[in-house]
Copies of this chain bind each other. A is one copy, B any other.
Amino acid sequence: MKEIEQRLNENGVRPTAMRILIYKYLAEKEVAISLTDIETAFSNADRTTLFRTLKTFEKKGVVHQIDDGTGVQKYALCEPGCNCELEQDLHLHFHCNNCDETVCLTEHKIPHINLPEGFVAEDANLVLKGICDKCSGQ
């Protein structure tokens, strides 16, 4: 509880009640979360607030956005001290075709790719799709 407030403060995000709740929600879930997920979980709050909270979190480096190819934006908490912006720190994501959940595989960094002449990479996104550990029965 107190740690959350501290974490938000460190990142320059004012720890309002709502934001703490959303942070806690993100922390409990071990999967990437969509705006609609949060909207469902906090049906009393307004969608715009939740939307802007996520955008604030993203801008301040509290969460990173995930594009898993489903067409809906997902978010997950950043590791403490992570540098999502830097190309070297980009991890891959896994989307399960069975349970439809997306998880961060923070241990698995995106390998460096040699590009043709003239191409300069600044960012990368690698998503693997298949069956997750929960759904594969193992």
Contact = CB atoms under 8 A, between A and B. Distances in A.
Interface in A97-138: 97, 105, 107-108, 110-111, 113-134, 136, 138
Instruction: Report how many copies the assembly holds.
Output: 2
Interface in A75-97: 92, 94, 97
Contacts of A113: 92, 108, 111, 126, 128
Contact of A136 (B69, B92, B120, B126): B120
Given A67-B69, A126-B126, A133 B118 contact: yes
Contacts of A138: 117-118
Interface of A: 67, 69, 71, 92, 94, 97, 105, 107-108, 110-111, 113-134, 136, 138
